[in-house]
Amino acid sequence: MAGDDQHPDLSPEPGTSGPADRAPASGGSLLGDTSEVHATRTRTRSRGSSKKRRSFVRRHKALTALLALFALLAVIAVGGIVYVQSKLGQIDRVDVAGSLPGAERPDKVPGEALNVLMAGVDNGEGPSIAESVASADWEPGLHRSDTIMLLHISGDRRSAYVVSIPRDTYTTIYDEKGQPAGKHKINAAFSLYGPAGYVSTIEHLTGIRMDHLAIIDWDGFKALTDALGGVLIYIPETVTEGANVTWSKGYQYMYGEEALRYVRTRHGLAGGDFDRIRRQQNFIRSLMSDLLEKGTLGNPLNLASVLDAVTRNLTVDDEWSSGDLRGLAFSMRGLRTNDVTFLSAPLATNWNQSISGEGDVVLLDKKQSSELWKAIANDKVGAYAEAHRSDQLPNENSVN
């Protein structure tokens, strides 16, 4: 079933359109010379208005879901068992497996590898995701998730891979019963059919069984960034974006409005939305560095704040027990930022098309996407990533 809805390459020669070529990712320390980093951290932190922070979260929800899950796992690994267990019990859970016929789903991937589908939503003032699912009265359009990330955790727990799928990918979407519901942009699946439809759509696209689902409300991002304290980004060269925005070369501490500008901007970037995805991934990577490597969670107040922010806003599938979360966190306790590779789903040569009734859509490369999905299913993503380094997130010195 994998890739059966993707379009073949039909038109322009490679390099005539689409995202610019990326420099290959490199190893070594994420932040290089930390003396400059620590010096930068002593600068005054401008937090911006709460309105700007809300705008940031609404536009970049997948950042929230991925960062929240890593935050949760990190906190579980270092927190007290009794305290953590009590907080894990506050996480909302939704039924996905019970809604989808087992015969219509891919087989579970053998071995110990895990595949977790990420979603970030804007709940607004209405019911929560869990309440909407439990009521069996899903209101189309009430909960929106505009970005998609698939987290693959290797069976040996020594590496993780984050694959971004463009929200405008044109494919058959599936309803909450796992039945086809026509071809649309892929982000319509969650809005129209909820968590089960979202999972079914991604499973049909990739041919991979999703082991778990993690969803977080946008409020969680605001609380989590407050608890973690912001992000430090390296600007490889001075650039001007618009009349009043200049990014100076070097480390820039970003919070609130400044971070919003960094991840929002697509105009003037060679790859448009796809370069913006790279900026978003770079943003996650820097925050993960704070979370996993710089002692952020060594402060009991930070630990409590992060755990509270995540558990109050996170929803997972009801098959993901608190015990399983604790076990996963313990098994991943040695994971560091350099062990996480960020990838983008490969685009067709003629990736940008206009479809009547849908507008501009994105087409994936059928052959290479199949290679990626197969690599995930076989827990061989490292070999795929090495063979397709231009699809990796470059090191921080190469992300404008």
How much is the pLDDT for 335? 82
Q: Which helix (H) or strand (E) holds 305?
A: helix 300-311
31 is a domain residue:
no
pLDDT, one tens digit per residue, over 49-67 is 444 444 434 444 444 456 5
> Closest Cα to residue 330, out of 159, 161, 79, 89?
79
* DSSP codes of every residue in 1-50: -TTTTPPPP-SSPTTSSSSPP-PPP--S-SSSSHHHHHHHHTSPPP---H
Residue 328 to residues 29, 292, 347, Cα–Cα distance (Å): 25, 15, 32
Please report, as a single letter, which amino acid is at residue 251: Y
255 is a domain residue:
no
How much is the pLDDT for 220? 56
221 is a domain residue:
yes
Which residues face 93 on adjacent strands? 316
Q: How far apart are CA 101 and CA 388, in angstroms?
A: 35
Q: How far does CA 105 lie from the centroid of its chain?
A: 23
Q: Which two tokens stand for residue 299?
A: 């402060």
Q: Which helix (H) or strand (E) holds 293?
A: helix 273-293
32 is a domain residue:
no
Q: How far apart are CA 385 and CA 382, in angstroms?
A: 5
How much is the pLDDT for 170? 96
How much is the pLDDT for 121? 66
CA 277, 278, 283, 287 torsion-angle sign = positive
Q: Which two tokens stand for residue 150?
A: 């698939």
What CATH number is attached to the domain comprising 110? 3.40.630.190
User: pLDDT by residue for the chain (400 residues), tens digit each?
Assistant: 554 454 433 333 333 333 333 333 333 333 333 334 434 433 333 334 444 444 434 444 444 456 566 667 766 665 567 777 788 888 889 889 888 988 889 998 889 999 999 876 666 566 777 777 777 777 766 677 767 889 999 999 999 999 989 888 999 999 999 999 999 999 899 889 989 999 999 999 999 999 999 987 655 555 666 667 777 788 887 877 766 777 788 988 776 666 666 766 666 666 666 777 788 788 778 777 776 665 566 666 667 777 777 787 788 999 999 889 888 888 887 888 889 999 999 999 999 899 999 999 999 999 999 999 999 999 999 999 999 998 998 887 788 7
How much is the pLDDT for 56? 38
All residues at 6 or more sequence positions from 66 whose CB lies less than 8 Å from its CB, including other chains: 118, 149, 151, 162, 284
| Domain count along the chain | 1
Q: How far apart are CA 57 and CA 52, in angstroms?
A: 9
How much is the pLDDT for 142? 67
Rounded to whole angstroms, the maximal C-alpha distance in the chain is: 59
290 is a domain residue:
no
pLDDT, one tens digit per residue, over 301-345 is 667 777 777 787 788 999 999 889 888 888 887 888 889 999 999
Whether the Cβ atoms of residue 279 and residue 263 lie closer than 8 Å to each other: yes
360 is a domain residue:
yes
Q: How far apart are CA 243 and CA 246, in angstroms?
A: 8
Whether the Cβ atoms of residue 170 and residue 366 lie closer than 8 Å to each other: no
Residue 232, phi then psi, degrees to nearest 5: -110, 120
Domain, as residue range, for 193: 57-232+297-398
35 is a domain residue:
no
Q: How far apart are CA 208 and CA 152, in angstroms?
A: 11
29 is a domain residue:
no
Q: Which two tokens stand for residue 226?
A: 């407050």
